[in-house]
Amino acid sequence: MTTARTLVRPAGRARRLSPRTRRTVRRNVTAYGFLCGALICFAFFSWYPIVREVLLSFQKTNFVGDTRWVGLDNFRTVIDDPVFVDAWVNTAVFTLLALAVGYVVPFAIAIVLNELKHARGYLRFVVYLPVMLPPAVAVLLFKWFYDPGPGLFNQILKLGHLPTLNWLDSSDTALISLVLVSTWMNLGSGTLIYLAALQTIPGELYEAAELDGAGMFRRIRYVTIPQTRLILLVMLLLQIIATMQVFIEPYLLTGGGPEDATVTVAYLMYQYAFNFTNFGGGGALGLMLMLVLMLFSAVYLRVSREEAR
Amino acid sequence: MRSRILATLLAAVLGATAAGCGGDDSGGQDTAPLGAGTKVSITVGCMPAKSQEAQRKEWEEDVAAFQRLHPNITVVGKDAFPCIDPNTFQAKLAGGQMEDVFYVYFTDVRGIIANGQAADITPYIGSVKQFPNLDPAVERVFKDGDKVYGLPRQNYAMGLFYNRKLFSRAGLNPDAPPKTWAEVREAAKKISALGDGITGYAELSAKNQGGWHFTTSLYSQGGDMVDGSGRKSAFNSPQGRAVLQNLKDMRWTDDSMGTKQLLIDADIQRMMASGKLGMYLGAPDNATALVDQFKGKYEDYGMAPIPGSAGTLMGGDGWLFNPKASPDKIKAGLLWLEYYGITPGQGQLNYARAAKYGRPVGLPQPKLFGQNAVGQKDRQLRAASANLPVGNFKPYEDAYGSVPGKLEPPQAQQLYAVLDSVVSAVLTRRDANIDQLLADAQKKADAALARAN
């Protein structure tokens, strides 16, 4: 009997979802909708270009039908390029200098801002102001600052009766000049993040340290740094990832010169792809840079997971 | 489950990629003239932007007139300023957005042809009546062996662009500009001696433009960028050393090149327009850029043939055809280009109309036809409508044709990138060792040429 009833049960009824499932679907449909939007955007604007770039690095293509797989030829081409090593060295030096300057300075400013009793809002605004400038504008502003003749920096040096510098026009100072621009442009964001982290440190810790006779530097050493250790680490990794991709500064200020002193990996990638119309070479460089950055990203993910815990 | 979804997504992405990599060939070679009943629509690059009111109006008039002559052809112009952007060129090709008739600089023509990114129009070029009248040197730019790929729009020979006002102020005769590099050096000294931040002579040294100008100067000294085979560099030569030594002397001994280096063309034009620069290497149309973009005045500028005059770099721009364009589109495109671009008195060469619309007429550019009868007619028409101080360009105009014009080297951008480094070293480092720089550059350039061959 039961069997017969089961056999004649209308098909529509068999497909009807249980109330629990329906509730779950109703609850999640909006979320899935948003997720789909995000997935489509990522697929088109991030994942597809990444996959395409990886494929390109193993191909020779003219984009109009003539595409050949060339194995590792593109990698050989870029590695054989004498500028290849310069580009990696410049990128590494830029990253190290950017960390030495761009990592310490915002943290120091954040500490000072945190200690201030007056004009905190105003100073925070002033520090954040450069972030609001479009990067190209900020970079071009520095082009004038660095002008060896009437440029602002040399005028200041002259006022102080100090020797002037050639800034971008010397292979000795060009890279550090780019680091200064980059630091200035990104100072505001870093400072605000550090400031937010500093404000989560309980005041009692400082009070206790003061009672124990700790001065400013000891308070920073034994309270501030341990309490912000994770955010410092996360910022360090993010900064490495961001600075290794440096492009706009050499592109707008030096064109990779003088004497290739500011050719970075990203700039060389641009040269290959857009000036030499060798997208395979550009892709190969991109893949190499991506692998290096993935390493740092993996560490970053691990650290941020630790922080979440 | 998650891995299955990922696999599906990856397959979809790879599928789309593979589809993107594929392509279809253009149709067969139907060389018969375009039938009057065959309806064709072509897209054409470099339509003047709306901000260039007069040029845009002229273009629209030309399209209307052309379509009256050929009612079966529709010309759809695509505007952009500048007409080509290296950052989007390949993306447009990859995305199928490239115009049927697309705009290019002479610098890029060889590379585009070598990459198979332009259609071979040899079977159809016979229908272009003006083609045999083109200056063979210009024609050569768009050829690879016997095959033809495009037609020119503008052409020029690089020369010495100078500030007549500063020449006068420095006690130099603006009607007798320097003829040799030694004279340039002397003039630069006098001009920079005016002080007030004035630079005597400026040179490009960034974004591959330093290499481009090095090539020009090298040609002017009688040197070559590559040997006859095109597989070995040839700039590490006495002529190459002379170019760099001259720059080094002007920069460090005479101090006549200013302190700011790593300049690109816009920097130099800004300096010239603001009256702070005496001379640089350039083309006649720099005058238009200085006036239109930097508020300069035509009467302040003059042009002389390249110092040394052993040779000069030919530059310019023109149109190539999309490799996916059908034979009918190519035929229609050629009809349009002949009408608009290379027929004296018509289209871009209608100087009377340009003058009527208040546009500058009289610059010695383009010179598409050389010294033949058509070229003479073109020059006469231009002279009849000239509204610029053409006398300022007379030294250049008089010498045109007597200075051998040379094309850009193969793998131009790679070689320019290598030489950028050399030029920037000489201009930024007092102790730059020219021999060493040239020897290093030669190794890099030879490697680049070997990779390409």
Half-sphere exposure of B283 (CA within 13 A, CB side): 21
pLDDT digits (tens, 9 = 90+) for A210-267: 888 888 888 888 888 888 888 888 888 888 999 999 999 999 999 898 989 999 999 9
Question: Mutual orientation of helices A174-198 and A82-102 as an angle, nearest 10°?
Answer: 40
Residues A103 and A180 in one domain: yes
Give CA–CA dist A203/A191, Å, rounded.
20
Domain end point (choices B357, B385, B413): B385
Q: Please indicate if any CB of chain A lies within 8 Å of the CB of B33.
A: no
A92 within a domain of the structure (yes/no): yes
A68 within a domain of the structure (yes/no): no
Label residue B312 by pLDDT band (50, 70, 90).
very high
Residues of A in contact with B428 (CB under 8 A): 166, 169-171, 257-259
Q: Is A222 exposed, middle or buried (0-12, 13-18, 19+ CB in 10 A)?
A: middle
B391 within a domain of the structure (yes/no): no
Which range marks the domain in which residue A222 is found?
73-308
Question: Residue B15: is its pLDDT beyond 50?
Answer: no
pLDDT digits (tens, 9 = 90+) for B192-246: 999 999 999 999 999 899 999 999 999 999 999 999 888 999 999 999 999 999 9
Q: Please indicate if any CB of chain B lies within 8 Å of the CB of A81.
A: yes
Strands (E), chain A: 59-61, 67-69
Label residue B10 by pLDDT band (50, 70, 90).
very low
Q: Please indicate if any CB of chain B lies within 8 Å of the CB of A150.
A: yes
pLDDT for the residue B230? 87
Residues A172 and A231 in one domain: yes
pLDDT digits (tens, 9 = 90+) for B403-419: 999 999 988 989 999 99
Q: Which residue of A has its CA nearest to B421?
A: A259
Which range marks the domain in which residue B148 is found?
39-157+315-385
Q: Is B447 exposed, middle or buried (0-12, 13-18, 19+ CB in 10 A)?
A: middle
pLDDT for the residue B20? 36
Residues B43 and B169 in one domain: no
Q: Please indicate if any CB of chain B lies within 8 Å of the CB of A271.
A: yes
Q: Please indicate if any CB of chain A lies within 8 Å of the CB of B9.
A: yes
Q: Do B117 and A274 touch (CB under 8 A)?
A: no
Whichever domain contains B279, its CATH number is: 3.40.190.10
Q: Where are the alpha helices (DSSP H) in B283-372?
A: 286-294, 327-341, 351-356
Selecting from A43, A65, A148 the residue whose C-beta is nearest the C-beta of B23 gives: A65
Q: What is the ipTM of this complex?
A: 0.76
Residues B152 and B128 in one domain: yes
Whichever domain contains A96, its CATH number is: 1.10.3720.10
Residues A88 and A165 in one domain: yes
Q: Which helix (H) or strand (E) holds B170?
A: none
CA separation (Å) from A101 to A136, A166, A198, A220, A229?
21, 20, 20, 18, 18
Give CA–CA dist B119/B26, Å, rounded.
8
pLDDT for the residue B298? 93
Q: Do A255 and B259 touch (CB under 8 A)?
A: no
Which residue type does B393 have? F
Q: Do A255 and B208 touch (CB under 8 A)?
A: yes
B56 within a domain of the structure (yes/no): yes
Q: Please indicate if any CB of chain A lies within 8 Å of the CB of B117.
A: yes
Q: Do B420 and A256 touch (CB under 8 A)?
A: yes
pTM of the predicted protein model:
0.81
d(CA B129, nearest CA chain A) in Å: 30
pLDDT digits (tens, 9 = 90+) for B253-295: 999 999 899 999 999 999 999 999 999 999 999 999 999 889 8
Q: Is A214 exposed, middle or buried (0-12, 13-18, 19+ CB in 10 A)?
A: middle
Residues A43 and A82 in one domain: no
Residues B221 and B347 in one domain: no
Residues A229 and A177 in one domain: yes
Residues A110 and A173 in one domain: yes
Domain count, chain A: 2
Question: Residue B1: is its pLDDT beyond 70?
Answer: no
Q: Please indicate if any CB of chain A lies within 8 Å of the CB of B276.
A: no
